[in-house]
Amino acid sequence: MRKLLTTGVAVLFSTITGVSVQAQENSSINITTTAVPFLRISPDARSGGMGDAGIAISPDANSVFYNQAKIPFAKKRAAVGATYTPWLKEVADNMYLATLAGYHQLDELQAVSASLRYFNAGDVTMVDYGGNKLQSVRPRELAFDLGYSRKLSDKFALGAALRYISSKLVTGAINGANYKAGHAVAADLSFFYNGTDENSKGWTAGISLSNLGTKIGYTDDASSKDFLPAGLGIGAAYTEVWNDDNKMTFAVQADKLLVPKIPGSAEDMPAYRNKSVVAGWFDSFDNNATQLAFGTEYIFKDQLYLRLGYNSKSYSYGNWQYVTAGAGVRFNMAMVNFSYLVPIGDKVNRNPLGNTVRLGIVFGIE
């Protein structure tokens, strides 16, 4: 077991231990935090190689994580995909996000899907304000989805998914409080426009509202529950087809966290805690928690895929800037993807995915 002393882990546990990470009074950094932050991790290697721009690119098994409405336009009748993502690789070797997703087209108009995200936060040593060791814990979180999507026309589709979330960070008595696993339910709503022709040339676009659901709590105190990472994402992509062997997709995506900004003083915390979920959505537009992603994908003979991307998150979203690279190779029914992330810029926060390789595989059924 390794002792983890990173800002990312401290933020992960701040919602249930009362420990907070605060900047100096003259700092301009104001991170907008939420519960279950693993839902904000890009869950597949293909989009991970394109700067995390996944809302509007062509559909595959992992579309259920980004835009449910894309699935009726998928060329495969059914598909299943799995991805492994290391987390804080430079600090610990037992932290990771694993995902499993799949869909089945019922007919030419509609499809159903399911997915699972499992986050293993490794072995963590908890300490109090004085740095005294309290206990070692093994945090685990998961989210299970069921989804449905339907074409409205030859170009438009809608999708929806229901999500069950379980978050087990710490259990038992700590600092005089009794902690337990947290549970929540949420929903995703999505829209997709497919303007491509039979050769896949043309524009696609999408809108996604994600994690719209209840708060989550880790004690019996109803006033200490925290917001889920609700978000709004808008994306567009254009695919150029030069000939039968060569294609290229250009994608752009913007995301906004729909959660209220955490108050700067303890006196304002009760009002923040008592705020309803719907009120939090409308109060979120002053938190400046946004990210912008760009990605490209070059396709050769529908067998070799080369990808590049760039992502920039605002200070409130996490203050990470990075470039990504990835590749994919298709073998008959299977496609293997990997991506690599390199942090850039002179910002103060370190990306937990920095210099790690994400691996994924997708199986398609005609």
Per-residue confidence (pLDDT) for residue 350, from 0 to 100: 62
| CATH number of 45-331+344-365, picked from 2.40.160.60, 2.40.50.140, 3.40.50.300, 1.10.150.110 | 2.40.160.60
Predicted structure pTM score: 0.87
pLDDT tens sequence across 152-187: 999 999 999 999 999 998 777 766 678 888 999 999
Place of tokens 């959660």: 259
Count of H-run helices and E-run strands, the chain: 4, 18
Name residue 113's beta-bridge partners: 103, 147
Residues whose CB falls within 8 Å of the CB of residue 31, separated by 6 or more in sequence, listed in order: 11, 21, 315, 316, 317, 318, 319
The two structure tokens encoding residue 352:
């937990």
Place of tokens 């002792």: 3
Beta strands in 171-219 (DSSP E): 172-174, 177-179, 182-196, 202-213
Nearest to 361 by CA among 325, 318, 321, 332: 332
pLDDT tens sequence across 91-123: 666 789 999 999 999 999 999 999 999 999 877
The two structure tokens encoding residue 14:
């701040």
State the Cα–Cα distance between residues 15 and 226, nearest whole angstrom. 7
Question: How many residues does the structure list for the chain?
Answer: 366
Q: State the chain's maximal CA–CA distance in angstroms.
A: 68
Q: What percent of the chain has pLDDT over 70?
A: 85
Q: What's CA 25's distance to the chain center, in Å?
A: 31
Are 85 and 96 spatial neighbours (Cβ–Cβ below 8 Å)? yes
Per-residue confidence (pLDDT) for residue 134, from 0 to 100: 66
The domain spans of the chain are 45-331+344-365
Are 249 and 57 spatial neighbours (Cβ–Cβ below 8 Å)? yes
- In DSSP notation, 237-299 reads EEEEE-SSSEEEEEEEEEEEE-SPPPPSSGGGHHHHHH--HHHHHHGGGGS--EEEEEEEEEE
- Cα–Cα distance list, 67 to 47, 125, 193, 195, 308 (Å): 12, 37, 11, 16, 21
**Position 9, amino acid:** V
Nearest to 55 by CA among 190, 201, 202: 190
State the Cα–Cα distance between residues 273 and 339, nearest whole angstrom. 38
Nearest to 34 by CA among 184, 173, 164: 184
Per-residue confidence (pLDDT) for residue 3, from 0 to 100: 36
Ranges of residues in the chain with a pLDDT under 70 are 1-30, 89-93, 125-132, 134-135, 174-176, 346-351
Reduced to 3 states, what is the DSSP secondary structure of residue 188? strand
**Position 259, amino acid:** V
Per-residue confidence (pLDDT) for residue 327, from 0 to 100: 97
The two structure tokens encoding residue 336:
């293997």
